[in-house]
Amino acid sequence: MAQLSADLTVLQHQMAADTGTRRTSLLRAAARLSVIVALSLVASGQIVLGRRWWQTAHRVADQSGDVETRVLVRAWDVVNGCYDGRQPSTVVALSDEVLPLLQRQATSAVCGLLAGRAQALSLAGRHAEAVATVRQLADLAQRLPATVVGDVESLWGWPEHRVHHTESWVYTHAGRLGDAESAQTQVLDLYPASQARLRAQVQLHQAVRLIRGGHIPDGLRCAADTLDALPVHLHNHVLQSVAAQVTDAVPVVERSRPAFADLADRIRAQAYPPCR
């Protein structure tokens, strides 16, 4: 983060000084780097500072005049908004603002926007729209170039596992438990070893699915085992917010279980402050 902040400081000076043909490219680069900073800050629990960087990313992307960059920044902001404590309606409204910018081409930015929108609609309880959006995402992802699908490690690609991750979230929240189980099986087979935290998030989706299917002890055990298995240094604010969905799924009448209290206490103990 220190190195990236220094790079951005240099880049800001370059953008201020350059009024020629390179300026658009510099602005696009600055927007993408700002996305990385914002995502990292929110993951570490620094929500307020993260919001400032999202504002910077939006501003620089708009200044670039590049539609793809503007969609990309807002796509990741929408995805991030499903984890940073914003009201789901606010995140859905942000995705609504971007929809007129979408073109017919299949790009990672458009897929990201649809994925974040589907998740936000789920959190808002608009499950029919969320399912329709995730189906639209699945159809669009099939048209992506092989280079985009094969870019597994960066933020700018759109590998197959991201589609199934979104399906896992949406179908679990919608109560479509068979579809959720199918998506979870597929995505867990696809995740590379380097993305253990994202894999753990899907396993927490599995815990929610078990609980909503009436298998409450199994779901609570699945969540606890998932947190135990993931190295502590990989735990962050995003993981904690997904883990909180597990306890939220437990019916109130079932919350006297010791396993529920243990998991809830553990999540609270690991929770990051709301802002720094």
Give the distance between the most distant pair of CA atoms in the chain. 66
d(Cα 261, Cα 248) in Å, to the nearest integer? 12
Structure-block tokens of residue 155: 């933020």
User: pTM of this prediction?
Assistant: 0.92
Q: What is the pLDDT of residues 29-62, one digit of tens each?
A: 999 999 999 999 999 999 999 999 999 999 999 9
Contacts of 224 (CB under 8 A, 6+ apart): 259, 262, 263, 266
Q: Of 118, 111, 48, which Cα lies nearest the Cα of 84?
A: 48
Residue 124 pLDDT > 60? yes
pLDDT (tens digit, 9 = 90+) per residue, 141-172?
999 999 999 999 999 999 999 999 999 999 99
